[in-house]
Amino acid sequence: MSVWPAWAVREGGRATHWFHVRLLFADGARVEGLVTVSEDGVGVEDLRARPALSLDDLAAFADWIEEPLARACGAAPEPSAGSADATGRHRRRPVGPRGVEGRRLAAREYTAARREGADPVLAVMGATGHSRRGALRLIGRARDEGLLAPRHARR
């Protein structure tokens, strides 16, 4: 993983920093992008991948670049659940229902969020403590089990 500064733009008291990001995988796959960092957050301006990224991989892209990008900005990211700490040991995942109970919880939270007009994936993430990628997997398993309507069904 390589991250290097491209340029910075200052407007008044605000600054936006642009970074080139490159990920090379052992199987020959590669992802390259242009990422912005400002006080408003992180944005992905351009992303190219060979072979193309799946939706799960695209959702995980932020996790892949978080730590190297924070180091390039001169900050250390807060460790997230299940991530390695400074000694390289992995932290335990948050305790939450597993198996069928976890899928039922995900289905309930997903359905309630949709009904309220909120982001259902964020609702599942908050209820289970999973990352976006983990929440998407859990939602998919709930669909496979029939706890949620198929993705292509119109409402």
pLDDT in tens, the chain (155 residues): 788 888 888 888 888 888 898 988 778 888 898 988 888 778 888 999 888 888 777 777 877 787 777 777 776 545 554 444 444 443 444 445 778 888 998 999 999 988 988 888 888 887 887 777 888 889 999 999 999 988 765 55
* Structure tokens, 38: 């400002």
Phi and psi at 45, nearest 5°, equal -90, -35
Are the CB atoms for 33 and 43 separated by under 8 Å?
A: no
DSSP track, 111-154: HHHHHHTS-HHHHHHHHH---HHHHHHHHHHHHHTTSS--TT--
